[in-house]
Amino acid sequence: MKILLSETDYITPSRTIETISNNEKTVFIYNYKGIHYRFFKSKAEFNRFLNKGIEPEFAFDSELELDLFLSQF
């Protein structure tokens, strides 16, 4: 995915949501303390996680795992 826009919002000092966009899609990455990452393919999927606790399809226990996934996504 060629990134054209990346924005990080701090929910708390230890929790962030990164919004990554290109011309075709926008995805979201929830970072919990830099030790657990959740990848959301849509804003609706992210909202289901926040509002109902529904886990996403993709979760990672390291930044290295996340980076490898993103390089192939």
Per residue in 2-30, pLDDT tens? 666 789 999 999 999 999 988 888 999 99
3 state SS of 25: coil
Note whether 31 and 13 are within 8 A (CB): no
pLDDT of residue 8: 93
Q: Which pLDDT belongs to residue 68?
A: 93
Residue 63 to residue 65: CA distance in whole angstroms? 5
In angstroms, the CA 64 to CA 30 distance is 15
User: Would you place residue 73 in the very low, low, confident or very high pLDDT band (cuts 50, 70, 90)?
Assistant: confident
**How far is C-alpha 42 from the chain's CA centre?**
10
What are the boundaries of each domain within the chain? Answer: 5-72
- More confident site: 41 or 24: 41
pLDDT computed for residue 3 by the predictor: 61
